[in-house]
Structure 1
Amino acid sequence: MTKHCIIVGSGIAGIAASIRMALKGYQVQVFESNAYPGGKLSEIEIQGYRFDAGPSLFTLPDQVEELFLLAGKDPKEHFEYQKLEVACHYFWEDGKQIKAWADQNRFAEEVETKLGESGTTIRAALKRSAFIYDHLAPLFMHRSLHQLSTWIRPQALKSYLKMGKLGIFSTMNKANEALFAQPKLVQLFNRYATYNGSDPYQTPATLNIIPHLEFNIGAFFPKKGMHEITLSLYRLALSLGVTYHFNSSVEEILVEKGKAIGVQVKGKPVCGEVVINNMDMVNAYKTILKKQKQPKKLLEQPKSSSALIFYWGINKVFPELDLHNILFSDDYRAEFEHIFKKGSIYHDPTVYINITSVYKQDDAPPGCMNWFTMINVPNNQGQDWDQLITAARKNIIAKINRILKTDVEQLIEVEQILEPRTIEYRTSSAQGALYGNSSNNKFAAFLRHANYSSDIKNLYFCGGSVHPGGGIPLSLLSAKIMTEMVGG
């Protein structure tokens, strides 16, 4: 007898869940309020320029490949990518700049030559990151934190003895200050807190796990752009018989006698033995689960940062820029205080510029570049965003002009803006937060919603707002953890 599975939302975790559930023998239907799949991992096309709309960094490609392998397909025939030689190009106001080479020895040499910091500290930092990953990834990334079986495994017991060395009792900034003599390197490694929307001066040093993904394993670029992650997995899901319903908002998850039995769409019930929520957890409870018991403690947790993105078509090629570029603030601590304590935008923000046309030339017209220009900003708490955006745009342009010695305003051919209000509207992310709850305390990992409901049978959760967290790799892992809990 065929079992039916209903998935709310087609973010990357929802797509991955649809593939995994189809392979478990379920007939899967996905309901998506937008007209396209992918959620944040979508694309924008404007007058000859193409932009990846959301996540721009690609790590752990094996999590994408695994889905093809599970379906008996060769990933190389469906999804191509390349490893980056330079993970990121960093710039400071005093004229210093370094390239974070993927080759560890070359990166160490770059640091010694350009910043005067011993290359041994880079090797020590990456060794530390690998150590944290080896001990915490099996617990925090690949398994549920909400099941006893995770905590009584030999791997977990082994990690308990290393807790003091894993950074749980320190902050990211303190750990980095203890390692690096050069403040610029402290700032560079503090930046990894932004990968899950957190503050390096508050978040635990366990987040120093992140550089391991980028350096020891590698940073990559899909040859057809980040949106191809969405499209390739969407095509795979369709080939497995998954049905997608676009422009179809779920109005309610239907619950009867403590069990999820389906959803209501356009006033009509759609029944299923399993219901999976890929919508932001907070907004799901406020809307489609509003009749159910609310996990108040989780819902009230502080949210992660958001983003202000300017998609600019630039009528010039800057050879000094790479795929990933960072123009650092002169006062990093003040920048994060504005984001997390003042709910505002610092006048000298760190600017991230992602330019896919460096690798994929047809993303911009000849002689041009597609700039995904982003700064970290607070989530939406009712600020005067129109005023904040106007001031931020002026400050971003001034910073770019100072560091790159240009007049970028005159080079902007096209512009589109994405900001906390539109992020929330388009992706149902509570307050426009990119990563759900923030990780600004040592217990943050335990304050994410489980991948299942403890109150409603047959209701499961995946996506960046639940365990294990936000970003492409963790969202894909959330779908993996969740589907392993569902019976065949």
Structure 2
Amino acid sequence: MKQNVGIIGAGIGGLALAIRLAKKGFNVTVFEKNSYPGGKLSELKINGFRFDKGPSLLTMPNLIEELSNSNDSQRKFEYKKLDTITHYFYSDGTQLKASSNVDDFAEEVHLKLNEKKESVLKHIKRNAFYFKTTEDLFLKQSLHQIRNFINFKTIKGILCAPFLGLFSTMHNKNNKIFVNPKTVQLFNRYATYNGSNPYKAPALMNMISHLEINLGAYLPVKGMHQITTHLVNLAKDSGVTINYNSLVETLLVESNNTISSIKTNGLSYSFDIVASDVDIHVLYNHLLPKKFTPKKLMAQQKSSSAFVFYWGINKEFPSLGLHNILFSEDYKKEFDYLFSKQYPTEDPTVYINITSKYCKEDAPNGCENWFVMVNVPHNSSASIGYASDLRKNVIAKINSMLKTDIEQHIIAESSLSPLDIENQTSSLGGSLYGNASNNKFAAFLRHSNYSSSIKNLYLVGGSVHPGGGIPLCLLSAKITSNLITKRAN
């Protein structure tokens, strides 16, 4: 008899898990509180402009293709590899284009930032070593089962621990390697890919750059939201039922510590297995009895959030590409403000994503769709007091570094604050990646992909192992699917 699985949340992790389980013969129902799927990976349309609301960088597209192949689907996920990954701008006028060709990128850093090309290539190679040594241990299996540590690849990873940068920070490691603070800043930036602080996160986190620099950066041909629509179509093809506008109110836990039903919209639905793709704080604070709350996990420092301005611009900027970084002058101060003062600095690093550079239908002719993002603290109050000042500071920085008057070119506008992110995606305080990775034990301190106290409860998504971001959410679905299948058999 087929077992029935209820999944809470139609984010990327929940959808990927649904596809995998349906392929393995489970009856799968997904409950989504919003009227649309995708969680943070949704879209916005205003006045002829289309914006991806959340994640803007695709790496490891093979994980999406894997879902298509596992489903025996004829649907193709179309994407292109970027020739130029990122355009970097510094306050003194220095500009640098990061090529997808590693040798060309190292040469560009040498020419523009006066680093030894060999140092850049060696650093990139070291980061690849970090990733390849740890991926089987940290990214492809549960860290919370003893048997997973008794195999050759895991033992090899453990033996290599002294060489994995666990006892230094990203910044200290980068600062020892490079002579130019601009280069250090460039590589420190990768800490923001999981909402962490490069001055505290272990040097091992430098491996994040490997995904982009060595494995490549990509863009779906119709923008990032295409990932969501593709996964939804795969899920439907597999027989998955997705119920929208279905906020889960509670999970009924029986005396034998198993969940018997999910309650939503006043109705209860019985399931053999339940999987949660919501932030662990929502799961434990709102859906489960308090006695199951893992207090130490819940008390850990949260990752940063983001404040996004969506601007329709009535002009084209040839100097900009798909991904653009306008660096702050004092990076350490910026992160001190983020994680200590809980307030964005007056000189923030600004990220501008313009999908209309590739997806021409995302903006009217002669215009561009600017997704303008600043890293900000996750929110701990009922309001955002800095929104107006932040907008002024962002505009001033853009005007200064791009030699323009950007406000006169804004013809459509919307925004997304940490409060909005929390309301729309249930991420605590708008935290983008769950708990931060600001210590060397971070990988071991994330919630496991299963509950140790509730027998038929599993967890997937950005707030649990192995972490946040599209690739890790997809990997969490793979891990969780394997756990469910093994226990069911």
Which TM class, normalised by the smaller chain length?
A: over 0.9
Equivalence for 1:200: 198
Tell me what 2:388 maps to: 390
**CA displacement at 1:151 relative to structure 2:** 1.4
1:130: which partner in 2? Answer: 128
**Aligned with residue 90 of structure 1, among 88, 91, 97:** 88
Compared with structure 1, are the counterparts of its residues 384 and 238 closer, same or farther at alpha carbon in structure 2 (3 Å cutoff)?
A: closer
Report the secondary structure of 1:217's partner residue: coil
Q: How many residues align?
A: 485
1:41 aligns with 2:35: no
Question: Which of 175, 199, 207 in structure 2 is aligned with 1:177?
Answer: 175
- Within a 5 Å distance, the mapping from 1:2-17 to structure 2 comes to 2-17=2-17
| 1:437-476 matches, cutoff 5 A | 437-476=435-474
User: Match of 2:60, as an amino acid?
Assistant: L
* Residue type at the aligned position of 1:331: D
Aligned-partner residue type, residue 316 of structure 1: K
What's the secondary structure of 2:293's corresponding residue? Answer: coil
Tell me the equivalent position of 2:208: 210
- The percent of aligned pairs where both chains have the same amino acid is 53
Partner Cα separation in structure 2 for residue 73 and residue 7 of structure 1: 22
Distance 1:225 1:18 in 2: 23
Distance 1:334 1:383 in 2: 25
Q: C-alpha separation between the residues in 1 aligned to 2:3 and 2:91?
A: 59
Contact 1:317 1:367 in 2 (8 A): yes
Question: Which residue of structure 1 lines up, in the alignment, with residue 272 of structure 2?
Answer: 273
Indicate the residue corresponding to 1:246 in structure 2: 244
Kept in 1, the 8 Å contact 2:383–2:419? The answer is no
- The residue type equivalent to 2:404 in the other structure is T
Say whether the 8 Å CA contact 2:73–2:234 is kept in structure 1.
no
Matched with 1:348 is 347
Q: Secondary structure at the match of 1:279?
A: coil
SS at match of 2:80: strand
Q: CA deviation at 1:52?
A: 0.3
1:86 CA drift (Å):
1.0
Q: Which amino acid aligns with 2:259?
A: A
Q: Aligned partners of 1:290 and 1:427: how far apart in 2?
A: 22
Q: What CA distance in whole angstroms lies between the structure 2 residues aligned with 1:161 and 1:293?
A: 35
What is the CA-CA distance between 1:265 and the residue it aligns to?
A: 1.2
CA apart distance, 1:72: 1.4
Which residue number in structure 2 is paired with residue 314 of structure 1?
313
Cα distance in 1 for partners of 2:290, 2:389 equals: 41
Q: Which residue of 2 aligns with 1:305?
A: 304
**Matches of 2:100 and 2:267, distance apart in 1:** 53
- C-alpha distance in structure 2 between counterparts of 1:441 and 1:290, whole Å: 30
Q: Partner of 2:401: helix, strand, or coil?
A: helix
In structure 2, do the counterparts of structure 1 residues 106 and 268 end up closer, same or farther at CA, with 3 Å as the change threshold? Answer: same
- SS of the aligned residue for 1:185 comes to helix
State whether residues 262 and 274 of structure 1, in contact with CA within 8 Å, keep that contact through their aligned partners in structure 2.
no
Q: Does 1:21 align with 2:21?
A: yes
Q: Please list, as runs of the form range in 1=range in 2, the aligned pairs for 1:223-262 lying within 5 A after superposition.
A: 223-256=221-254, 257-262=256-261
Moved more, 276-285 or 466-475: 276-285
Indicate the residue corresponding to 2:119 in structure 1.
121
**Corresponding residue for residue 148 of structure 2:** 150
Post-superposition shift, 1:78?
Answer: 2.2
Query: AA paired with 2:299?
Result: E
Q: Deviations over 1:86-122 (max 9, x none)?
A: 1111000100010110101111111121111111122
Whole-Å Cα distance in 2 between the matches of residues 146 and 421 of structure 1?
33
Q: What does 1:368-383 correspond to in 2, within 5 Å? A: 368-382=367-381
CA-CA distance at 1:292 after TM superposition? 4.4
Deviation for aligned residue 1:451: 0.2
Correspondent of 1:101 among 99, 102, 108: 99
The amino acid that maps onto 2:167 is F
From the superposition, tell whether residues 8 and 384 of structure 1 become closer, same or farther in structure 2 (CA, over 3 Å).
closer
What TM-score do you get using the length of structure 1 for normalisation? 0.98
Partner Cα separation in structure 2 for residue 289 and residue 164 of structure 1: 40
CA distance in structure 1 between the aligned counterparts of 2:91 and 2:214, rounded to whole angstroms: 29
SS at match of 1:10: coil
Which ranges of structure 1 fall in alignment gaps of 5 or more residues?
Answer: none
1:231, 1:322 → 2: CA distance?
25
CA contact (8 A) 1:146 1:450 kept: yes
Partner residue, 1:56: 56
Unaligned runs of 5+ in 2: none
Residue 161 (structure 1) shift: 2.1
TM-score normalised to the size of structure 2?
0.98
Aligned-CA RMSD value: 1.0
CA–CA distance in structure 2, aligned partners of residues 214 and 422 of structure 1: 29
Detail structure 1 runs of 4+ shifted over 4 Å in the superposition.
Answer: none
Cα deviation digits, residues 282-332 of structure 1 (max 9, x gap): 121110114441100001111000000000001100011000000000000
SS, match of residue 287 in structure 2: coil
AA aligned opposite 1:26: F
Question: Could you say what secondary structure the match of 1:341 adopts?
Answer: helix
CA contact (8 A) 1:81 1:222 kept: yes
SS in 2 for 1:436: coil
Matched residue, 2:162: 164
**Inter-partner Cα distance in structure 2 for 1:291 and 1:336:** 34
